């Protein structure tokens, strides 16, 4: 919440737990070694898994799925492909969809000259390049879920959320809720 209003979060550590550098909000959002980057990613995945389980059922959701084992190297020398979650029945009945989450800081210095939409589009394109052909070989759909640390979601993620809300509204506990309330 503090980040959204450009406040420094209270009680921040003095040094990064990953790389030992002096800690700041900017460092926390951009350090690829420290725990905050991993934690924010995992929190998003956990929430999406929970909501997906409510929508499609516990048995339809699998978390941290290995699509291709490292020893199953294909013709192109894949080193193994892991995805954040697989949900059955999102886009088609009885068809798995692989979702991989990317949380990025659109305010990082390297993105200063790009729009948020172009950053998210680029991240989605990178995810697709890494996952799509492997998922297609396994007859699994692939959907990247890209988001900024500010909470701006990419196009594919917005499509998924529309479907998720639509599905949740069919459940008894959510039936009387409007789209905005879900």
Q: What are 114-151's pLDDT values in tens digits? A: 999 999 999 999 999 999 989 999 999 999 999 998 88
Q: How many domains does the chain have?
A: 2
Q: Tell whether the model's pLDDT for residue 85 goes beyond 90.
A: yes
Residue 160 CB partners (closer than 8 Å, separation 6+): 90, 99, 143, 145
Higher pLDDT, 84 or 30: 84
Would you state the pLDDT for residue 73? 52
Q: Tell whether the model's pLDDT for residue 177 goes beyond 90.
A: no
Do 98 and 26 belong together in one domain? no
Do 57 and 120 belong together in one domain? yes
Averaged confidence pLDDT in the chain: 86
Q: Which domain holds residue 99?
A: 44-174
* Mean pLDDT in residue range 4-31: 79
Do 18 and 49 belong together in one domain? no
* Mean pLDDT in residue range 140-167: 94
Do 88 and 165 belong together in one domain? yes
User: What span, in angstroms and rounded, lies between the C-alpha atoms of 143 and 90?
Assistant: 10
**Residue (of 151, 84, 149, 146) closest to 121 by Cα position:** 146
Question: CA dist 105 to 36, 60, 111, Å?
Answer: 12, 31, 8
């Amino acid at each position: 919440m503090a980040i959204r209003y450009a406040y420094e979060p209270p009680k921040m550590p003095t040094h990064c737990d990953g790389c030992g550098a002096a800690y700041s909000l900017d460092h926390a959002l951009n350090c690829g070694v420290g725990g905050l980057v991993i934690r924010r990613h995992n929190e998003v995945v956990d929430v999406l898994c929970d909501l997906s389980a409510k929508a499609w059922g516990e048995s339809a959701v699998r978390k941290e799925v290995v699509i291709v084992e490292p020893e199953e190297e294909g013709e192109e020398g894949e080193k193994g492909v892991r995805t954040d979650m697989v949900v059955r029945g999102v886009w088609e009945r009885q068809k798995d969809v692989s979702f991989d989450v990317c949380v990025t800081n659109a305010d990082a210095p390297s993105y200063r000259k790009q729009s948020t939409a172009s950053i998210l589009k680029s991240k989605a394109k990178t995810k697709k390049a890494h996952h799509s052909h492997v998922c297609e070989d396994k007859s699994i759909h692939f959907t990247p879920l890209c988001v900024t640390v500010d909470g701006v979601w990419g196009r594919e993620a917005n499509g998924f959320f529309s479907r998720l809300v639509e599905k949740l509204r069919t459940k008894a506990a959510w039936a009387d809720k409007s789209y905005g309330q879900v």
